[in-house]
Amino acid sequence: MKFKKMLLLMSRFILGAVFIFAAVGKIYNPAAFAGDIDNYRMLPYILVTLMAVVLPWIELICGVLLISGKWLKGSSFIVIIMNIMFIVAIASAMARGLDIDCGCFSVGSSASRVGMVRLIQDFLWLALAVIVFRDAIKKRA
């Protein structure tokens, strides 16, 4: 019981910190983030720009909610969906042999490349988000 509580708390804090950290650089520079998204060559440009503008704020809000322990159902649900999106995007970029900046944490030239490390990381975040989500929906509102 105690272990479970610890695991849950750690999942929330790690995930929250990761998403807040990931959001800050993108919020600072939407243009560079749009370039990173566009490099994946998966979306029409209008969706690229909308995503560059809105996605970092979803990350930030979810990060804050996860750490503060409020609205865990919605925030962990969104984080699960986002991580599935990231995994699909990175896997597809790798399958197509694209050598591009990930756009995961930092944007523009300082960003790290897409690759197996990023993919594994996203699976880890996904697992943490599922832990939080499962617990959140068990509790009564």
Partner 1 sequence: MPIKKILIETVVITVVATLLGFANNFINPNRVAITAMRPVAPSASDAELEADSLQGPVVVDREQLKKLVSEQGAILIDARLPEEYDAGHIPGAINIPIELFGEFIDTIEALPRDAWLIGYCDGPPCDKGKNMAEELFYMGFMRVAYYDAGMDDWKSSEEVQR
By CB under 8 A, the count of residues binding partner 1 is 35
- The DSSP string of 45-61 is HHHHHHHHHHHHHHHHH
Contact between residue 100 and residue 93 where contact means Cβ atoms under 8 Å apart: yes
Q: What is the DSSP letter of 71?
A: S
SS3 state at 117 = helix
Task: Indicate the residue among 3 and 35 with the shorter CB distance to partner 1.
Answer: 35
- 28-57 mask for partner 1 (x: CB under 8 A)? xxxxxxx---xx-x--xxx--xx-xxxxxx
21 binds partner 1 per the rule CB under 8 A: no
CB of 46 to partner 1, least distance (A): 4
58 binds partner 1 per the rule CB under 8 A: yes
**Nearest-CA neighbor of 99 among 86, 112, 120, 113?**
113
Task: Indicate the residue among 65 and 114 with the shorter CB distance to partner 1.
Answer: 65
Binding segment for partner 1 among 9-17, 61-69, 84-92, 115-123 (CB under 8 A)? 61-69
Alpha helices in the chain (DSSP H): 2-28, 30-39, 45-68, 72-95, 116-138
Interface residues toward partner 1, by CB under 8 A: 27-34, 38-39, 41, 44-46, 49-50, 52-58, 60-62, 65, 71, 73-75, 77-78, 137, 141
